[in-house]
A = this chain, B = another copy of it.
Amino acid sequence: MKICLMGLGSVGQGVARVFQMKRDEIKQEYGLDLDLVAALDRSGAAINPEGLDLKLLLETKKLTGKVSKYPEYGEEGVSGLEVLDRVEYDCLIEVTPTNIEDGEPALSHILKAMGDGKDVVTSNKGPLALKFSELARTARDNGVKFKYEASVGGAMPIINFAHETLSGCKIESIYGILNGTTNYILSRMAKEGSSYEQTLNEAQEMGIAETDPTQDVEGEDAACKVVILANSILKMDVTYADVEVKGISQITPESISLAKKEGYLIKLIGEVSPDSLEVSPRLVKEGSPFAVEGTLNVATLKTDLADEVTVVGKGAGSIETASAILSDVISIWKTK
Q: Are B309 and A311 in contact (CB under 8 A)?
A: yes
A159-185 contacts to B (CB < 8 Å) = 160-161, 164-170
A305 to B155, CA, bound (A): 9
Chain A 300-322 near chain B by CB (<8 Å), digits 1 or 0:
00010111111111100101101
In Å, the complex CA distance between A170 and B22 comes to 10
- The 8 A CB mask of A17-50 against B (1 = contact, 0 = none) is 0100110010000100000000000000000000
The CA of A63 and the CA of B213, in the complex, are separated in Å by 64
With CB as the reference atom, state the residue of chain B lying closest to A325. B168
* Partner among B22, B287, B289 whose Cβ is within 8 Å of the Cβ of A312: B289
Q: Would you call A323 an interface residue if the criterion is a C-beta within 8 Å of the partner chain's C-beta atoms?
A: yes
Which residue in B307, B310, B313 is a CB contact (below 8 Å) of A306?
Answer: B313
Residue-wise interface mask of A (186-217) relative to B, using a CB-CB cutoff of 8 A (1 in contact, 0 not): 00000000000000000000000000000000
- A interface, CB within 8 angstroms of B: 18, 21-22, 25, 30, 149, 155-157, 160-161, 164-170, 286-287, 289, 291-292, 303, 305-314, 317, 319-320, 322-331, 334-335
Other-chain residue from B18, B168, B308, B327 in contact with A166 (beta carbon distance below 8 A):
B327
Contacts of A309 in B (CB 8 A): 155-157, 311-313
Q: Nearest B residue to A323 by beta-carbon distance?
A: B305
Contact of A305 among B286, B308, B320 (CB under 8 A): B320
Alpha-carbon gap, A11 to B102, bound state (A)? 50
Cβ–Cβ < 8 Å partners of A167 in chain B:
30, 326-327, 330-331, 334
A307 touching B314 by the CB < 8 A rule?
yes
